[in-house]
Amino acid sequence: MPRPPLPAALTLAAATLLTATACSGRYFDMEEGPTSAPTTASSATRSAPASPTTAPALTAAQAQAVLITDTDLGPGWTPTRGAATWRDGMLKTTGAPGDCARFLDALYSDALLGSPARALVGLDDTDTGAQLRYQVSAQPRADVDRTLAWLATVPQRCAHFTAATARGVAQDVQISTASLPPVGDARQGLRVTVTAPPAEDTEEPTVLTLDVAAVRQGTDAFTLTNGGLSDVPSDATQAAVQLGALRLAEVRKQGRAQV
C-alpha cells in the first residue's frame, strides 16, 4: 500500500524552497550518485544569504520551536518510545579504522556536531519501523564548519570498511555522499548502510540504512538522522531538512522583530 502524501506543512516547505531555486532546474533527493557532491560553506552561500555572524545564540524556547514534530511528518509518525534496538545492536561498534570509528561513534551517540545539543527530538515511524532523530546544535559556528568539512571527507575515507558489534559480529559498512535541498549556508548529506551477516535462524542479512544530514544556517545548525531496518522514507528526510531551515529563518526573523 502506498504511503500517504506528506502533510501540507512539509509540502509547502518543499514548494517554497524549490520555487526559490527553480531557475537552476535541479531536483533534490537523497539518492546517491555523481551529482551529489559535498557542499561547502562557500558554494552553499550562493543558495541562501548568510545570517549575521554576531547573532546571539538561540534561546531554549527558540531552539524548541525549530524542532520537527510527528504532526509535521504525517500519519504513522509518533513521538519516540526510546532508542531503536539497532542503535546498540549495529551502531555501537569497535575495530573500524580511524575516521570511520570517529564517525560511527558520533552517529551512535547523536553527537555529529558535538554535544550537548540545544534541543532534540526523536520520532518513530510505526508503519516502517524507521526512527528519525533531529537536533539543534549548541556549538559555535567555527566548530560546526570544521565538522562539516570533516564530514565531507568521510565518504572518501570510509567508503567501505568493516566494524564489529559489541558481540564481535563483523559488519560491512558503506558510506556515500547524498544530496540535500539547497538550504542554509553549508550542508552535508550522507547515506550509511550497515550490513550484518544472517543470524542462525535466518537466511537473509540484516541491513540498516541511515540518511544523515547536517546543515548550518548563519550561526545556527541542526542535524538529522533517519534510519531503519526496512523502508527508510527519504521524502521525510528531505522535507524535514527543508522545514528545519525554514523554521530557523522564521525564529530568527521573529527574534529580530522583537528587539
Q: Are the beta carbons of 221 and 139 closer than 8 angstroms?
A: yes
Band of pLDDT at residue 46, cut at 50, 70 and 90: very low
Tell me how far the alpha carbon of residue 21 is from its chain's centroid: 21
pLDDT value, residue 114:
92
Q: Rounded to the nearest 5°, which phi and psi values hold at 150? A: -70, -45
Residue whose grid cell is 559480529: 169
Prediction pTM value: 0.81
More confident residue, 44 or 160: 160
Mean model confidence pLDDT for the chain: 83
Please give the pLDDT value at position 258.
64
Phi, psi of 92 (to 5 degrees): -85, 100
CA 158/CA 176 separation, integer angstroms: 8
Query: Does residue 21 have a pLDDT over 50?
Result: no
Give the pLDDT confidence score for residue 106 in this predicted structure: 96
- Residue 19: the pLDDT is 44
Amino acid at 258: Q
For residue 254, what is the DSSP state?
H
Mean pLDDT lowest among 42-46, 64-68, 237-241? 42-46
pLDDT over threshold 50, residue 42: no
The predicted-structure confidence for 188-221, as pLDDT tens digits, reads as follows 999 999 999 998 777 899 999 999 999 999 999 9
User: pLDDT tens for residues 96-131?
Assistant: 999 999 999 999 999 999 989 999 999 999 988 899
Task: Give the residue extent of every domain in the chain.
Answer: 62-258
* pLDDT of 162 over the 80 cut: yes
pLDDT, position 202 = 76
pLDDT at site 5: 53
pLDDT of residue 33: 39
Collapsing DSSP to helix, strand or coil, 7 comes out as coil
pLDDT(223) > 50: yes
25: left (phi over 0), alpha (psi -120 to 50) or beta: left
C-alpha cell at 138: 549548541
Share of the chain above pLDDT 90, in %: 66
The CATH architecture of the domain made up of 62-258 is 3-Layer(aba) Sandwich (3.40)
Task: Tell whether the model's pLDDT for residue 152 goes beyond 70.
Answer: yes
Q: Quick check: 16 pLDDT over 70? A: no
Summarised one tens digit per residue, pLDDT across range 64-82 is 999 999 999 888 899 999 9
pLDDT score of 74: 86
